């Protein structure tokens, strides 16, 4: 291949790879298999190695990060990155106060028309300025003090949602402002992997995002699951500026930049109040943390008229939600034993209202975290709750710690006991792991309860009515010892339990019977194999197609499954090497638990294979999880947002903005009846 041919091929590969990156990371709609993507990537790498002069700043191969930096260099912002005023009144009066201020500054009378606002989310991450010159990302900088930030270009290159080259006609200069964050699912998956490897975990998504971007070693940043949303502009040159803020966001999206779909153009204070309330309702279901919403006067001309006061724009405000962090005191530190024997220290707290609920317990994660934060009984602590994430102790207010007369702390530092607090078995903690575990296995009632609750859980076999209290009674009365025993339950055994009416007992037996008909991915997940989460269970089901093939697989065969490395593969091998695990599986099969065999073959041959669905609103008879299972069993994929790549939108009651966007794009929209017809066909 000549240099000219290599240059043309490299340019074509860069365009194609970035298109696939945009589809995968921004649109959540993959366009090619991973193996094909890897082949294209390797081809580009080979060309750049053979012809180093062809290597360019916008090449996807440059996302891996360069050499560690000795320090971050300062970057002076051409247009200062100023902060937005925060409205601490979390009630509707906060929105009305902002609207009243804007109207007053513009000299509007009571009878004049309502002001048009752009309303969007206030992300809980790290603000970043991206500088594109002639369409190529040349620099990324943190906010810093607003005037001067730090050059974090190498780390930002590792964020795959951020394009290295803009699409469409490239302006001479376009500075894009936005937020780097870590989604809650990615945060949990990352920490789960870190714990399995015995490595340090991230404290919370916000700290994880900020800490990742400020790593001097870009390779460390590349390991973190970072995301990005654009929300504004810095310097621009030779760019046709739209007349409204909403138009700016649409233009940025057209350039290939990710822009959050949860935004709206509203009229007046009542429109702001409605958006604030709508996002508050949706807050826990969002895959990322927000601590409020942002209102901006939509017209850029009016923004210019309103100007700034004390380095804050008069035309924008952040309207917060109730605080998700609060102060309280630690009344005790107890130990919780999980289904895999993991021992977790839990702080019992003086009740405190935080993030919309009253919190009385907060996780300390593990012995290392508890000792690093030095949490002690009697301490005043900062407690954080975000969405549906388990509340955690963030830090200790050391100067409020109870002390003895001699100046020593009143209570000793936390220490992990040598024996399990539930069954007395030895506590083990391998040198390369952060988590200590009870060695008792199913002999330990705590592990038994947790394992059974996991098996019956909503995303596993989904046995409705089998909650904590009932499972506790079943285990304590020795009625249930293994998952197979759930299918031997009789009416008499249930009605003899405390506070168990005959009708409730019958409902549970019906739910147990219904759970016998499942899918392979749910069954694998229900087994509770260490390090095998829901996503890995689906990958295993798709790859092997039936349980016997999975059980017979060796280490090499297991590692052929996407995202299954040596740690996960070893966990699977150890699980199926235990005779009692095989015995329980055979008992479950004998009890009638079944699933369609050859799921991967059926999915591969299905007309829905590779099709992207979006679920929105409440369906009349199907839960979202049930609909998702039906789609995935036929090789389809469920995405969280609507885009041009979406094949079907399944809409129920109160579908909201996703339905509006689907209609605007002319996508195929199905109600539940039409969806069922499509699935059965």
606-680 maps to which CATH number?
3.40.50.10190
DSSP 242-260: -SBHHHHHHHHHHTT----
What confidence category does residue 266 fall into, taking pLDDT thresholds of 50, 70 and 90? very high
Q: What is the distance of C-alpha 202 from the center of its chain?
A: 13
What confidence category does residue 97 fall into, taking pLDDT thresholds of 50, 70 and 90? very high
Closest CA to 267 of 119, 84, 122: 119
What confidence category does residue 300 fall into, taking pLDDT thresholds of 50, 70 and 90? very high
The yes-or-no verdict on residue 196 having pLDDT over 80 is no
CATH topology of domain 116-320: D-amino Acid Aminotransferase; Chain A, domain 1 (3.30.470)
CATH topology of domain 3-64: Helix Hairpins (1.10.287)
Rounded CA-CA distance 311/314 in Å is 9
Structural class in CATH, domain 520-600: mainly alpha
Listed ranges 80-89, 206-215, 430-439, 659-668; the one with the highest mean pLDDT? 659-668
Rounded CA-CA distance 372/365 in Å is 11
Assess whether the region 441-514 and the region 520-600 belong to the same CATH fold: yes
Listed ranges 195-204, 348-357, 435-444, 491-500; the one with the highest mean pLDDT? 491-500
User: Quick one: which H or E segment has residue 607?
Assistant: none
Rounded CA-CA distance 467/42 in Å is 50
The yes-or-no verdict on residue 243 having pLDDT over 90 is yes
Q: How far is CA 437 from CA 363, 447, 460, 530, in A?
A: 16, 10, 23, 12
pLDDT per residue over 454-508, tens digit each? 999 988 999 999 988 999 999 889 999 889 999 999 999 999 998 899 999 999 9
For all residues of the chain together, what is the average pLDDT? 87
Q: What is the pTM of this model?
A: 0.54
Closest CA to 458 of 411, 506, 398, 518: 518
Q: How far is CA 643 from CA 22, 120, 200, 646, 662, in A?
A: 12, 19, 36, 5, 8
Average the pLDDT over 559-578 and give the result.
Answer: 86
Provide the annotated active-site residues: 122
Closest CA to 363 of 124, 535, 191: 191
Q: Which CATH superfamily is domain 441-514 in?
A: 5' to 3' exonuclease, C-terminal subdomain (1.10.150.20)
pLDDT per residue over 245-263, tens digit each? 999 999 999 999 999 999 9
**Percent of the residues in the chain that have a pLDDT greater than 90, as a whole number:** 44
What confidence category does residue 1 fall into, taking pLDDT thresholds of 50, 70 and 90? confident
Domain locations along the chain: 3-64, 116-320, 325-400, 441-514, 520-600, 606-680
Phi, psi (5° rounding) for residue 147?
Answer: -95, -40
Average the pLDDT over 537-561 and give the result.
Answer: 91
Phi, psi (5° rounding) for residue 499?
Answer: 55, 40
Average the pLDDT over 510-521 and give the result.
Answer: 94
Return the pLDDT at 301: 96
**8-state DSSP, 88:** -
Instruction: List, edge to edge, every strand of the sheet that includes 612-616.
Output: 637-639, 612-616, 648-651, 668-670
pLDDT per residue over 381-434, tens digit each? 998 876 545 788 888 999 999 999 999 999 999 988 889 998 888 888 877 677
Return the pLDDT at 508: 94
**Percent of the residues in the chain that have a pLDDT greater than 70, as a whole number:** 95
325-400 maps to which CATH number?
2.40.50.140
Return the pLDDT at 145: 81
The yes-or-no verdict on residue 615 having pLDDT over 70 is yes
The yes-or-no verdict on residue 191 having pLDDT over 70 is yes
* Cβ(128)–Cβ(213) below 8 Å: yes
Return the pLDDT at 605: 64
Return the pLDDT at 433: 72
């Amino acid at each position: 291949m000549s240099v000219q041919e290599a240059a043309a091929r490299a340019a074509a590969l860069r365009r194609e790879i970035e298109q696939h990156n945009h589809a995968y990371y921004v649109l959540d709609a993959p366009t090619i298999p991973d193996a094909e993507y890897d082949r294209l990537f390797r081809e580009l790498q080979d060309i750049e190695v053979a012809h180093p002069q062809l290597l360019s700043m916008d090449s996807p191969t440059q996302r891996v990060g360069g050499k560690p930096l000795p320090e971050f260099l300062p970057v002076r912002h051409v247009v200062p990155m100023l902060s937005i005023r925060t409205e601490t009144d979390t009630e509707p009066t906060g929105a009305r106060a902002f609207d009243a201020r804007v109207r007053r500054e513009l000299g509007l009378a009571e009878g004049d028309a309502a002001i048009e606002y752009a309303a969007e989310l206030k992300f809980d991450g790290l603000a970043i300025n991206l500088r594109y010159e002639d369409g190529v990302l040349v620099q990324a900088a943190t906010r810093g003090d607003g005037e001067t930030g730090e050059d974090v270009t190498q780390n930002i290159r590792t964020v795959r949602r951020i394009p290295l080259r803009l699409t469409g006609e490239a302006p001479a200069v376009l500075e894009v402002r936005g937020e780097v964050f870590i989604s809650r699912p990615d945060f949990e998956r990352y920490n789960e992997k870190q714990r399995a490897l015995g490595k340090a975990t991230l404290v919370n998504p916000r700290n994880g995002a900020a800490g990742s971007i400020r790593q001097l070693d870009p390779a460390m940043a590349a390991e973190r699951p970072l995301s990005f949303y654009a929300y504004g502009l810095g310097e621009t040159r030779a760019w046709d500026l739209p007349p409204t803020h909403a138009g700016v966001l649409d233009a940025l999206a057209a350039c290939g930049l990710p822009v959050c779909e949860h935004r709206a153009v509203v009229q007046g204070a009542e429109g702001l109040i409605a958006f604030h309330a709508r996002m508050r309702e949706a807050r826990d279901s969002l895959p990322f943390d927000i601590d409020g919403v942002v209102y901006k006067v939509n017209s850029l001309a009016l923004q210019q008229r309103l100007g700034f006061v004390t380095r804050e724009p008069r035309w924008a405000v952040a309207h917060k939600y109730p605080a998700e962090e609060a102060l309280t005191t630690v009344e005790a530190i107890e130990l919780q034993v999980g289904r895999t024997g993991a021992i977790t220290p839990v702080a019992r707290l003086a009740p405190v209202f935080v993030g919309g609920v009253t919190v009385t317990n907060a996780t300390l994660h593990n012995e290392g975290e508890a000792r690093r934060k030095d949490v002690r009984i009697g301490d005043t602590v900062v407690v954080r709750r975000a969405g549906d994430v388990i509340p955690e102790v963030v830090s200790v207010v050391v100067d409020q710690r109870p002390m003895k007369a001699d100046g020593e702390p009143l209570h000793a530092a936390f220490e992990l006991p040598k024996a399990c607090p539930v069954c007395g078995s030895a506590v083990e903690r391998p040198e390369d792991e952060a988590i200590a575990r009870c060695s008792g296995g199913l002999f330990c009632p705590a592990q038994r309860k947790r394992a059974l609750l996991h098996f019956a859980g909503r995303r596993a076999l989904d046995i409705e009515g089998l909650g904590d209290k009932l499972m506790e009674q079943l285990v304590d009365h020795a009625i249930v010892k293994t998952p197979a025993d759930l299918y031997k339950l009789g009416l008499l055994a249930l009605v003899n339990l405390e506070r168990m009416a005959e009708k409730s007992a019958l409902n549970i037996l019906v739910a147990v019977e219904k759970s016998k008909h499942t899918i392979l991915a749910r069954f694998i997940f229900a087994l509770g194999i260490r390090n095998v989460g829901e996503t890995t269970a689906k990958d295993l089901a798709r790859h092997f197609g039936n349980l016997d093939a999975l059980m017979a697989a060796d280490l090499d065969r297991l590692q052929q499954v996407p995202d299954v490395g040596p740690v996960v593969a070893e966990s699977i091998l150890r699980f199926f090497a235990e005779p009692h695990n095989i015995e329980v599986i055979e008992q479950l099969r004998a009890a009638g638990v079944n699933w369609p065999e050859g799921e991967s073959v059926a999915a591969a041959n299905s007309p829905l294979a590779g099709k992207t669905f979006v679920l929105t609103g409440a369906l009349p008879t199907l839960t979202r999880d049930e609909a998702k299972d039906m789609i995935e069993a036929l090789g389809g994929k469920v995405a969280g947002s609507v885009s041009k790549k979406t094949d079907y939108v399944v809409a129920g009651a109160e579908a909201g903005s996703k339905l509006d966007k689907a209609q605007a794009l002319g996508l195929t929209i199905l109600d539940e009846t039409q969806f069922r017809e499509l699935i059965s066909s």
